[in-house]
Amino acid sequence: MVGRNPSPPRRQRACAPCARVRAKCHFREGNLEKHICDRCETMKKDCFPQNTRSLRRPRRINHGNGVMVEEDKTLDILQGVLVIIAWAHMCHIDNSQVTNLAYLALGYAHNLGVTQDMLSAQTTSAGTSDKAQMTNLLAAIRALLGLYCVLSIMSTRQSRRNPLDVPYVESYLKIVSQAQATPSDPSIEYIVRFVQMGERLSRSFGEPHERTLLSPYAVLLEGTGSRFRNDLSRLAESVPNGNVETYSQTFELYRLYLLVRLFEPAIIVACHPDEGVPQFVYLLTCLRNCLQAMQSFFDLLLDSPVDLLLRRSILTYDQILYVMLQAAKLLLVEIPDWDTRSVRQTLDLTNVLDQMVSRYEEAERLRRAAVEQFVFSALEEESTNEMTSTSKLVKEIRWLKYWLESRFQGSSGEVEEDTYQGALKPSWSLGLLEEMPWKIGNI
């Protein structure tokens, strides 16, 4: 393995999002769990803060190179890549780079052998103590489950199937859940199971190249949707309450997000009455259920601490944007027996978007304050005019609000939609039904 600096520069250690710090300590004391920081150092992880982006750009090319040139395959490198992918949206790494890294990680995992039956390999290995074997097995299982979840999110963005099939996932989840070797182990099972529910929903809608406007909606008519809702409710009820480590609020948001995804085909059908799809009474029921899930999602989200917005990894980052987009589509539905005016009063989306802009702006202020507190040795101050990931998202949400208001007023949305003041047209890729006409310009 390439030699590592035994003590990464203070400037780099101070910003490592993957390093856990002891309570009430300063980064200058070096109280980091060094092995985690080393994983990023091995990968040339750009742990610099956003005020030194000009210094970080030349290092990005090393993200993939660090994996390909290493002669010795180690789990540390795979874990480092997964850390980068999980927080790429906070580090100015675009979606195409994340996709490259995700599939690079998949190949690396294959080469490491962690995608094989690790339980069989565990029983045949020799020369290692039982405790050491279990420690190594748990680390490999966590990495594999993390890769599975990451690839699931990436596949959803691209409206494709997850390329990683984990036939031993039930056994792995049982091992991690029983071991509870780290504080986060109790939550791993529920994270993976919610991701599995998303995978199940993707499969039920059929292959992307075979989908028609009606086929995903037919899933709701066949009763598959009811079974999915029941199973999702049982999963949510099994999450322990009152324990910080279970992230119960995050899982409830995940449940509501999956409900919105479940009813997305109904929104698509309602937005395109000219396609000849029969407007069943059940369609109105689906739309009302979707509206209720959206309301609950926004109520819970707006009631949560602002700083949680900065701690949403790739697994949950897209959910807010997705629900906002689907809500905008739902409020523009005009079909018989659907009271559009009443629906817009029930879900005041423009007010919700205003609140989200304010919350993300506050989150950005908190982030800048954290940078000032910890990166005390930076050679240059962070520019307040620099476009950060969060400030870009604020402009995109503001654009969605302006666009929605113009549609409420009867505008086609085609005039000067790219030039809303202080706003930026979103380029989000979020929908499971990507091949369907869900994008803003086609609503």
User: What's the longest Cα–Cα distance across the chain?
Assistant: 74
Helix and strand counts by DSSP (H, E) for the chain: 18, 0
DSSP 21: B
* 339: Cα within 13 Å, side-chain hemisphere: 7
With b for 16 or more beta-carbon neighbours within 10 A and e for fewer, the 235-253 pattern comes to: bbeebeeeeeebbbebbeb
Give CA–CA dist 76/139, Å, rounded. Answer: 9
3-class DSSP state of 280: coil
Residue at 279 is within a domain? no
Q: Can you give the pLDDT of all 443 residues of the chain as single tens digits? A: 444 444 444 333 333 334 333 334 433 333 333 334 444 444 444 444 444 444 344 455 455 565 666 667 789 999 999 999 999 888 778 888 889 999 999 999 999 999 988 887 665 555 556 788 888 899 999 999 999 999 999 888 887 889 998 888 889 998 988 887 777 777 888 999 999 999 999 888 887 777 777 788 888 888 888 999 999 999 999 987 755 544 778 899 999 999 999 999 999 888 887 766 666 778 899 999 999 999 999 999 999 989 888 888 888 888 999 999 999 999 999 988 899 999 999 999 999 999 999 999 999 898 888 877 766 544 445 555 667 788 888 888 998 898 888 888 876 655 455 556 677 787 776 655 654 444 444 44
Domain that holds residue 9: 1-132
Long-range contacts of 131-137 (CB under 8 A, 24+ apart): 134/179, 135/181, 136/75, 137/175
- Residues 404, 350 contacting (CB under 8 angstroms): yes
What pLDDT, on the 0 to 100 scale, is given for residue 420? 66
Give CA–CA dist 43/28, Å, rounded. Answer: 23
What does each C-alpha distance from 431 to 74, 153, 179, 329 come to in angstroms?
35, 11, 36, 12
What pLDDT, on the 0 to 100 scale, is given for residue 100? 92
Determine which helix (DSSP H) or strand (DSSP E) holds 256, and give its type and residue range.
helix 248-271
* pTM across the whole model: 0.79
* Residues whose CB is less than 8 angstroms from the CB of residue 362 and which lie 6 or more positions away in sequence, other chains included: 306
Q: Of 251, 367, 355, 385, which is closest to residue 310 (Cα–Cα)?
A: 367
What pLDDT, on the 0 to 100 scale, is given for residue 356? 95
Structural domain count, the chain: 1
Residue at 55 is within a domain? yes
Residue at 176 is within a domain? no
- Residues 103, 35 contacting (CB under 8 angstroms): no
DSSP E strand stretches across 38-191? none
Give CA–CA dist 61/149, Å, rounded. Answer: 25
Residue at 240 is within a domain? no
Residue at 21 is within a domain? yes
Give CA–CA dist 293/232, Å, rounded. Answer: 13
Q: Of 125, 36, 124, which is closest to residue 82 (Cα–Cα)?
A: 36
The β-bridge partners of 32 are: 21
Residue at 392 is within a domain? no
Give CA–CA dist 393/357, Å, rounded. Answer: 9
Give CA–CA dist 165/113, Å, rounded. Answer: 14
What pLDDT, on the 0 to 100 scale, is given for residue 242? 58
What pLDDT, on the 0 to 100 scale, is given for residue 56? 47
DSSP 57: G
Residue at 200 is within a domain? no
Residue at 35 is within a domain? yes
